[in-house]
Amino acid sequence: TPKGCMELLHRSGVEIKGKRAVVIGRSNIVGTPAALLLQKANATVSIVHSKTKNPEEITRQPGAAIIDVGINPVDDPASPRGYRLVGDVCFEEA
Ligand SMILES: *[C@@H]1O[C@H](CO)[C@@H](O)[C@H](O)[C@H]1NC(C)=O
């Protein structure tokens, strides 16, 4: 997943070197390796997690390339399964 995120950034023409990057979440399978890959690509990386005191302040600093790899089930009676999967980001607000 983290390598896929880097690939998305590359293919979208987003230059990483010298940029601020914020990773929300520090899981072993996504957040932490994503932060390491971004750092290896010469971004300046902040990791925001559940104990971060000022997440809004940190996430509002960088510009606007956002990748959402969150997975949440939400009720959806129109779906055959009764639910559908959505991400973490409210893109209108972000
Ligand atoms: C990151 O910086 C190092 C040290 O200057 C350099 O060797 C490396 O090629 C850079 N990597 C990228 C992806 O820009």
How much is the pLDDT for 2? 96
Q: How close is the Cα of 81 to the center of ligand 1, in Å?
A: 47
Q: Does any domain span residue 46?
A: yes
pLDDT along the chain (94 residues), means of 10: 96 96 95 97 96 92 86 94 94 87
From the CA of 42, give the closest atom in ligand 1. Answer: 1
How far apart CA 49 and CA 72 sit, in angstroms, is 18
Q: Does any domain span residue 25?
A: yes
Q: Does any domain span residue 71?
A: no
Please give the residue range of the domain that contains residue 20.
2-64
How much is the pLDDT for 63? 73
How much is the pLDDT for 51? 96
Q: Does any domain span residue 35?
A: yes
Sequence-separated (6 or more) residues with CB below 8 Å from residue 81 = none
Q: How close is the Cα of 19 to the center of ligand 1, in Å?
A: 13
User: Are the C-beta atoms of 38 and 23 separated by less than 8 Å?
Assistant: yes
> Can you give the CATH number for the domain in which 44 is found?
3.40.50.720
14-41 pLDDT, tens digit each: 999 999 999 999 999 999 999 999 999 9
Domain count, the chain: 1
Q: Does any domain span residue 45?
A: yes
| Ligand 1 pocket, residues with Cβ under 6 angstroms | 17, 41-42
Q: Does any domain span residue 11?
A: yes
